């Protein structure tokens, strides 16, 4: 578990470089489900390759966590829970899994960046790591999010 004081200290350092950012510390989270996956996806973000992500609306409903929103800032953690970057959500849509576009799959930056790769890898992910009892379905609602990096560590 990441130390909340470390997150707050990181946010203050980021705000020292960009004082227009809000004072409230944003949510902090890592991509993926394992430390290795978090590090690999973070590397794609920091390289500018990964500019999108997808999440299951069902998972948000199951956990009660707040859904992403347009203009949201997020602190991105590495696989060891250390804050490494800040992103801002720039667009958001909720679509059925089988309606996610090739353009969105490409923005996620993973694998060969094709829609076929995206569908196969995300189906595997949600079958293995979903936080809701429904798991995966071809018509499940997916939150497609685009973001920009505000501050790399």
pLDDT at position 40: 97
Closest CA to 98 of 56, 146, 142, 128: 142
Tens of pLDDT along 88-137?
999 999 999 999 999 999 999 999 999 999 999 999 999 999 999 999 99
Residue 153 reports pLDDT greater than 80: no
- The mean pLDDT value for 50-59 works out to 97
Residue 1 reports pLDDT greater than 70: no
Which long-range contacts link 65-73 to residues 24+ away (Cβ below 8 Å)? 66/27, 67/143, 68/92, 68/143, 68/145, 72/26, 72/27, 73/21, 73/22, 73/26, 73/150
pLDDT at position 152: 87
Closest CA to 57 of 67, 47, 48: 67
For the chain, the distance separating the N- and C-terminal CA atoms, rounded to the nearest angstrom, is 19
Contact predicate 105/113, CB 8 Å: yes
Q: Cα 9–19–23 angle (5° rounding)?
A: 55
Encode 11-30 in three state secondary structure.
HHHHHHHCCCCCCCCCEEEC
pLDDT at position 47: 96
Q: Cα 17–22–151 angle (5° rounding)?
A: 40
Q: In this structure, is the dihedral angle defined by the CA atoms of residues 57, 62, 64 and 65, taken in order, positive or negative?
A: negative
Whole-angstrom distance, CA of residue 71 vs CA of residue 119: 27
Domains, in order of start, for the chain: 4-152 (3.10.400.10)
**94's tokens:** 């909720």
- The mean pLDDT value for 54-60 works out to 97
């Amino acid at each position: 578990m990441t130390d909340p004081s470390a997150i707050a200290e990181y946010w203050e350092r980021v705000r020292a470089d960009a004082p227009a950012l809000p004072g409230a510390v944003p949510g902090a989270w890592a991509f993926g489900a394992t430390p290795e996956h978090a590090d690999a996806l973070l590397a794609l973000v920091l390289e500018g390759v990964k500019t999108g992500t997808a999440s299951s609306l069902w998972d948000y409903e199951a956990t009660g966590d707040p859904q992403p929103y347009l203009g949201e800032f997020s602190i991105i953690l590495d696989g060891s829970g250390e804050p490494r970057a800040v992103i801002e959500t720039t667009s958001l849509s909720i679509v059925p899994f089988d309606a996610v576009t090739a353009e969105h799959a490409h923005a996620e930056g993973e694998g060969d960046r094709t829609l076929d790769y995206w569908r196969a890898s995300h189906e595997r992910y949600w079958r293995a790591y979903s936080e809701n009892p429904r798991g995966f379905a071809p018509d499940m609602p997916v939150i497609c999010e685009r973001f920009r990096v505000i501050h790399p560590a």
